[in-house]
Amino acid sequence: MFLRLAAICLALSAPAAFADCVGYDSFVKGVEVKLEDGSKWIARRSAHEVIRIDKTNHDGAYAQYAIGPYGVFVTEGTRNGIGTTTEMVYSKTPPQPFVGMDWTSTVKDTSTSEATHSTYPTKRGKVHVTANNLREVKLNGCSYKVMGVDIAYGADLGGMVQHFAYFPDIRFGLQTKVTYKDGSSDSAGITGLRVVK
């Protein structure tokens, strides 16, 4: 009788232990992502797998936002610190990232200064997207599958490479590193992932 009662109690308490693990539906309410640099991102999903992420710097100041499919293919966003809004239009519909992905699209990039409301010359070029290295990580006590996704921008678009951590089971990705044309880079890995309270 005692063993049966203990098993029932364990079964009832088990979901509570995993209640804070992020699932696909968690993005309706919002998901908080913490990075090594102390920044915090809040991610929310809308229709057609479009995710909006808003960044707060380590000091608590709002920094920027980005919107796009799966959190990877940015179609609108701001550039941190320079007051510019960018819109990117892909010639092909971006697919959900998958291991072994090797995808190319032409992109039209239009940027507008928030200070002067003037539009910079439109850029056009190609992006090449690859994905690999599926592995399992543990964040906030929960296990997730994650893989690397790289978006390489052609020279006409600045020649940088964005590196994303993409979680296929929850269809969400976030940039963790950017490598610039001159070889310099900025990076901050993900240290926390939880449902917004």
Q: Could you say which DSSP state residue 46 is in?
A: -
pLDDT interval class at 15 (50, 70, 90): very low
On average, the pLDDT of the chain sits at 89
44-50: which pairs have CB atoms within 8 A and are 24 or more residues apart? Answer: 45/171, 45/172, 49/96, 49/171, 50/75
Q: Which residue has the tokens 């072994």?
A: 100
* % of residues, the chain, pLDDT over 90: 78
pLDDT of residue 10: 37
Instruction: Report how far apart, in Å, the C-alpha atoms of 87 and of each of 75, 117, 127, 134, 158 are.
Output: 5, 14, 15, 30, 15
pLDDT of residue 8: 39
- Give the residue from 120, 168, 175, 171 showing the smallest Cα distance to 153: 175
Neighbours of 25 (CB within 10 A): 10
pLDDT of residue 7: 39
pLDDT of residue 113: 85
The C-alpha atoms of residue 69 and residue 119 are separated, in whole angstroms, by: 24
The C-alpha atoms of residue 52 and residue 78 are separated, in whole angstroms, by: 12
- The better pLDDT of the pair 32, 61 is held by 32
pLDDT, average across residues 103-118: 90
pLDDT interval class at 45 (50, 70, 90): very high
pLDDT tens sequence across 157-174: 999 999 999 999 999 999
pLDDT tens sequence across 54-98: 999 999 888 899 999 999 999 999 866 567 899 999 999 999 999
